[in-house]
Amino acid sequence: MRHFASQSTMERSTTGLCNWWLHNALTEEIEQTKEATRNRVEPQEGTKRLQQWLIDLSKLPSHYSRQSSKKLYLEPTFQSYLELYRRYVVDMEELGQKATSRFKVMEEFHAMGLSLFHPRKDRCDICVGFEEETVEEVVYIAHRVKADRAQKEKADDKDLTPAEYILYSDGCGYQNRKVTMSSALPYFAIENGKTVTQKILEKGHTMMEVDSAHASIERHLKNRPIHCPADYKRIIEESRRFPRPYVVKYLEYSFSRTSAKSTP
Protein backbone atom coordinates (compact mmCIF):
# COMPACT_ATOMS: atom_id res chain seq x y z
CA MET A 1 0.00 0.00 0.00
CA ARG A 2 2.98 2.35 0.38
CA HIS A 3 3.01 3.14 -3.39
CA PHE A 4 -0.28 5.04 -3.01
CA ALA A 5 1.48 7.67 -0.92
CA SER A 6 3.10 9.20 -4.00
CA GLN A 7 -0.04 9.37 -6.10
CA SER A 8 -1.21 12.78 -7.25
CA THR A 9 -4.73 14.13 -6.81
CA MET A 10 -5.55 13.35 -10.44
CA GLU A 11 -4.32 9.77 -10.09
CA ARG A 12 -6.37 9.25 -6.93
CA SER A 13 -9.44 10.62 -8.71
CA THR A 14 -8.82 8.31 -11.67
CA THR A 15 -8.50 5.21 -9.48
CA GLY A 16 -11.42 6.26 -7.30
CA LEU A 17 -9.38 6.20 -4.07
CA CYS A 18 -10.22 8.94 -1.59
CA ASN A 19 -7.81 10.49 0.94
CA TRP A 20 -9.37 8.94 4.04
CA TRP A 21 -9.14 5.44 2.55
CA LEU A 22 -5.44 5.86 1.80
CA HIS A 23 -4.78 7.32 5.24
CA ASN A 24 -6.53 4.46 7.03
CA ALA A 25 -4.79 1.84 4.89
CA LEU A 26 -1.35 3.26 5.58
CA THR A 27 -2.05 3.68 9.30
CA GLU A 28 -3.29 0.10 9.58
CA GLU A 29 -0.18 -1.22 7.82
CA ILE A 30 2.12 0.73 10.15
CA GLU A 31 0.30 -0.55 13.25
CA GLN A 32 0.50 -4.13 11.99
CA THR A 33 4.25 -3.73 11.46
CA LYS A 34 4.70 -2.38 15.01
CA GLU A 35 2.62 -5.21 16.47
CA ALA A 36 4.66 -7.82 14.60
CA THR A 37 7.86 -6.26 15.92
CA ARG A 38 6.55 -6.30 19.49
CA ASN A 39 5.55 -9.95 19.12
CA ARG A 40 9.11 -10.80 18.08
CA VAL A 41 10.79 -8.82 20.88
CA GLU A 42 8.56 -9.61 23.88
CA PRO A 43 9.06 -13.41 23.81
CA GLN A 44 12.83 -12.89 23.78
CA GLU A 45 12.67 -10.56 26.78
CA GLY A 46 10.25 -12.91 28.55
CA THR A 47 12.62 -15.82 27.99
CA LYS A 48 15.53 -13.85 29.44
CA ARG A 49 13.47 -12.96 32.53
CA LEU A 50 12.45 -16.59 32.90
CA GLN A 51 16.04 -17.81 32.62
CA GLN A 52 17.19 -15.29 35.22
CA TRP A 53 14.36 -16.34 37.53
CA LEU A 54 15.43 -19.97 37.24
CA ILE A 55 19.07 -19.05 37.83
CA ASP A 56 18.15 -17.23 41.06
CA LEU A 57 16.37 -20.27 42.53
CA SER A 58 18.30 -22.02 45.29
CA LYS A 59 19.59 -25.34 44.02
CA LEU A 60 22.08 -28.09 44.86
CA PRO A 61 23.93 -30.83 42.98
CA SER A 62 23.32 -34.44 43.92
CA HIS A 63 25.17 -35.41 47.10
CA TYR A 64 25.88 -39.04 46.24
CA SER A 65 25.52 -39.00 42.43
CA ARG A 66 27.78 -36.09 41.46
CA GLN A 67 29.94 -38.27 39.22
CA SER A 68 27.02 -39.62 37.18
CA SER A 69 24.56 -36.72 37.30
CA LYS A 70 25.20 -33.13 36.27
CA LYS A 71 21.70 -31.97 37.16
CA LEU A 72 20.97 -29.34 39.77
CA TYR A 73 18.12 -30.04 42.18
CA LEU A 74 15.90 -27.38 43.72
CA GLU A 75 15.71 -27.09 47.47
CA PRO A 76 12.63 -28.94 48.81
CA THR A 77 10.42 -25.86 48.62
CA PHE A 78 8.14 -27.01 45.79
CA GLN A 79 6.12 -30.23 45.85
CA SER A 80 5.10 -30.19 42.18
CA TYR A 81 5.83 -28.49 38.87
CA LEU A 82 2.46 -26.75 39.07
CA GLU A 83 3.48 -25.19 42.39
CA LEU A 84 6.74 -24.05 40.80
CA TYR A 85 4.88 -22.41 37.91
CA ARG A 86 2.42 -20.67 40.24
CA ARG A 87 5.35 -19.20 42.17
CA TYR A 88 6.83 -17.95 38.89
CA VAL A 89 3.55 -16.28 37.92
CA VAL A 90 3.29 -14.54 41.31
CA ASP A 91 6.88 -13.27 41.10
CA MET A 92 6.30 -11.90 37.59
CA GLU A 93 3.12 -10.14 38.73
CA GLU A 94 5.04 -8.50 41.58
CA LEU A 95 7.58 -7.24 39.02
CA GLY A 96 4.80 -5.99 36.74
CA GLN A 97 5.88 -8.38 33.97
CA LYS A 98 3.91 -10.82 31.85
CA ALA A 99 4.49 -14.49 32.65
CA THR A 100 5.23 -16.94 29.85
CA SER A 101 3.32 -20.17 29.35
CA ARG A 102 3.74 -23.18 31.59
CA PHE A 103 5.05 -25.17 28.62
CA LYS A 104 7.82 -22.59 28.05
CA VAL A 105 8.75 -22.60 31.75
CA MET A 106 9.11 -26.40 31.76
CA GLU A 107 11.06 -26.30 28.49
CA GLU A 108 13.62 -23.84 29.90
CA PHE A 109 13.64 -25.65 33.25
CA HIS A 110 14.77 -28.93 31.71
CA ALA A 111 17.05 -27.24 29.15
CA MET A 112 19.03 -25.73 32.03
CA GLY A 113 19.53 -29.18 33.57
CA LEU A 114 17.28 -28.58 36.57
CA SER A 115 15.17 -31.09 38.44
CA LEU A 116 12.51 -30.79 41.10
CA PHE A 117 12.92 -34.20 42.71
CA HIS A 118 16.19 -35.43 44.21
CA PRO A 119 17.71 -38.83 43.35
CA ARG A 120 16.78 -41.71 45.59
CA LYS A 121 20.34 -41.92 46.93
CA ASP A 122 20.01 -38.39 48.32
CA ARG A 123 16.71 -39.05 50.05
CA CYS A 124 16.19 -40.04 53.66
CA ASP A 125 16.38 -43.82 54.23
CA ILE A 126 13.44 -43.81 56.64
CA CYS A 127 11.18 -41.79 54.31
CA VAL A 128 11.98 -44.03 51.33
CA GLY A 129 11.57 -47.15 53.47
CA PHE A 130 8.14 -46.03 54.62
CA GLU A 131 7.03 -45.45 51.02
CA GLU A 132 8.15 -48.98 50.15
CA GLU A 133 6.47 -50.38 53.30
CA THR A 134 9.72 -51.63 54.83
CA VAL A 135 9.61 -49.16 57.74
CA GLU A 136 6.82 -49.25 60.32
CA GLU A 137 4.46 -46.30 60.49
CA VAL A 138 5.23 -45.58 64.15
CA VAL A 139 8.94 -45.26 63.31
CA TYR A 140 8.21 -42.98 60.36
CA ILE A 141 5.86 -40.74 62.38
CA ALA A 142 8.44 -40.32 65.15
CA HIS A 143 11.05 -39.52 62.51
CA ARG A 144 8.84 -36.90 60.83
CA VAL A 145 8.03 -35.29 64.19
CA LYS A 146 11.74 -34.82 64.88
CA ALA A 147 12.41 -33.49 61.37
CA ASP A 148 9.50 -31.03 61.47
CA ARG A 149 10.45 -29.89 64.96
CA ALA A 150 14.02 -29.22 63.82
CA GLN A 151 12.83 -27.11 60.88
CA LYS A 152 10.40 -25.17 63.08
CA GLU A 153 13.06 -24.47 65.70
CA LYS A 154 15.44 -23.29 63.01
CA ALA A 155 12.83 -20.84 61.71
CA ASP A 156 12.02 -19.60 65.24
CA ASP A 157 15.68 -19.20 66.21
CA LYS A 158 16.23 -16.65 63.44
CA ASP A 159 14.17 -14.13 65.42
CA LEU A 160 16.12 -14.43 68.68
CA THR A 161 18.30 -11.65 70.07
CA PRO A 162 22.08 -11.67 69.48
CA ALA A 163 22.58 -12.50 73.18
CA GLU A 164 22.11 -16.18 72.29
CA TYR A 165 23.97 -17.97 69.52
CA ILE A 166 22.33 -21.03 67.95
CA LEU A 167 24.60 -23.41 66.03
CA TYR A 168 22.91 -25.88 63.68
CA SER A 169 24.79 -28.87 62.30
CA ASP A 170 24.28 -32.42 61.11
CA GLY A 171 25.17 -35.48 63.12
CA CYS A 172 28.60 -36.04 61.57
CA GLY A 173 30.83 -37.07 64.46
CA TYR A 174 34.07 -36.24 62.63
CA GLN A 175 33.03 -32.61 62.13
CA ASN A 176 30.55 -31.66 64.84
CA ARG A 177 30.51 -34.27 67.60
CA LYS A 178 34.13 -34.16 68.71
CA VAL A 179 36.28 -32.84 71.55
CA THR A 180 37.53 -29.81 69.61
CA MET A 181 34.01 -28.49 69.00
CA SER A 182 32.75 -29.27 72.50
CA SER A 183 35.74 -27.38 73.96
CA ALA A 184 35.64 -24.39 71.60
CA LEU A 185 31.97 -23.55 72.15
CA PRO A 186 32.13 -23.23 75.97
CA TYR A 187 35.35 -21.24 75.69
CA PHE A 188 33.70 -18.78 73.29
CA ALA A 189 30.61 -18.50 75.51
CA ILE A 190 32.65 -17.77 78.67
CA GLU A 191 35.02 -15.31 77.01
CA ASN A 192 32.21 -13.30 75.38
CA GLY A 193 29.47 -13.69 77.98
CA LYS A 194 27.09 -15.28 75.48
CA THR A 195 24.84 -18.30 75.49
CA VAL A 196 25.72 -20.87 72.83
CA THR A 197 23.40 -23.74 71.94
CA GLN A 198 24.36 -26.49 69.50
CA LYS A 199 21.45 -28.29 67.85
CA ILE A 200 21.82 -31.45 65.77
CA LEU A 201 19.36 -31.84 62.88
CA GLU A 202 17.49 -35.08 62.22
CA LYS A 203 19.32 -37.53 59.97
CA GLY A 204 18.20 -37.32 56.34
CA HIS A 205 16.77 -33.80 56.76
CA THR A 206 19.91 -31.74 57.31
CA MET A 207 19.63 -29.42 54.30
CA MET A 208 20.17 -25.77 55.27
CA GLU A 209 19.98 -22.46 53.42
CA VAL A 210 23.74 -22.11 53.26
CA ASP A 211 24.05 -25.35 51.26
CA SER A 212 22.84 -23.63 48.09
CA ALA A 213 25.49 -20.92 48.56
CA HIS A 214 28.20 -23.56 48.93
CA ALA A 215 26.96 -25.35 45.80
CA SER A 216 26.88 -22.12 43.78
CA ILE A 217 30.45 -21.25 44.81
CA GLU A 218 31.62 -24.78 44.04
CA ARG A 219 30.17 -24.61 40.51
CA HIS A 220 31.89 -21.30 39.77
CA LEU A 221 35.22 -22.54 41.12
CA LYS A 222 35.21 -25.56 38.82
CA ASN A 223 37.97 -25.39 36.18
CA ARG A 224 38.84 -21.80 37.13
CA PRO A 225 42.54 -20.90 37.43
CA ILE A 226 43.56 -19.86 40.96
CA HIS A 227 46.86 -17.97 41.10
CA CYS A 228 46.55 -16.39 44.53
CA PRO A 229 44.06 -16.28 47.45
CA ALA A 230 42.58 -13.03 46.08
CA ASP A 231 41.21 -15.02 43.12
CA TYR A 232 38.90 -16.88 45.50
CA LYS A 233 37.42 -13.57 46.67
CA ARG A 234 36.61 -12.49 43.11
CA ILE A 235 35.09 -15.83 42.08
CA ILE A 236 32.98 -16.11 45.23
CA GLU A 237 31.59 -12.61 44.65
CA GLU A 238 30.71 -13.60 41.06
CA SER A 239 28.89 -16.73 42.24
CA ARG A 240 25.70 -14.79 42.86
CA ARG A 241 24.22 -11.83 41.00
CA PHE A 242 20.69 -11.53 42.43
CA PRO A 243 19.67 -9.95 44.73
CA ARG A 244 23.31 -8.91 45.24
CA PRO A 245 26.78 -10.49 45.07
CA TYR A 246 28.10 -12.37 48.08
CA VAL A 247 29.96 -10.22 50.59
CA VAL A 248 33.45 -11.63 51.08
CA LYS A 249 35.69 -10.53 53.93
CA TYR A 250 39.28 -10.83 52.79
CA LEU A 251 41.45 -11.88 55.74
CA GLU A 252 44.97 -10.54 56.14
CA TYR A 253 47.96 -11.91 58.05
CA SER A 254 47.13 -9.70 61.02
CA PHE A 255 43.93 -11.72 61.56
CA SER A 256 45.90 -14.96 61.96
CA ARG A 257 48.35 -13.35 64.36
CA THR A 258 45.49 -11.91 66.43
CA SER A 259 43.74 -15.28 66.57
CA ALA A 260 46.95 -17.02 67.58
CA LYS A 261 47.51 -14.58 70.46
CA SER A 262 43.97 -15.06 71.79
CA THR A 263 44.22 -18.87 71.76
CA PRO A 264 44.94 -20.23 75.28
Please check whether residue 179 lies inside any domain of the structure: no
- Angstrom distances, CA of residue 126 to CA of 133, 156, 208: 10, 26, 19
State the pLDDT at residue 41. Answer: 40
Give residue 263's domain range: 208-264
Q: Does some domain include residue 172?
A: no
Count of H-run helices and E-run strands, the chain: 10, 5
d(CA 122, CA 66): 11
The verdict on residue 107 lying in a domain is yes
Residue 192 phi/psi, 5° resolution? -105, 0
Overall pTM surpassing 0.85 (yes/no): no
- The domain tally of the chain equals 2
Q: Report pLDDT for 28.
A: 61
Give the model's pLDDT for residue 65: 46
Residue 168 forms part of a structural domain: no
Domain boundary among 70, 88, 120: 120
* Inside any domain, residue 254: yes
Q: Is 2 exposed, middle or buried (0-12, 13-18, 19+ CB in 10 A)?
A: exposed
List pLDDT tens digits, range 35-74. 555 444 456 788 888 888 888 887 766 554 455 566 777 7
Query: 175 lies in a domain?
Result: no
The length of the chain is 264
Is the residue at 64 inside a domain? yes
pLDDT at 34: 53
Name the domain boundary from 96, 120, 144: 120
| Residue at a domain's end among 77, 100, 120 | 120
Low-confidence residues of the chain: pLDDT under 50: 1-7, 38-41, 64-65
In a domain, 194, yes or no: no
Where does the chain show beta strands of DSSP type E?
59-61, 72-74, 114-115, 164-169, 195-200
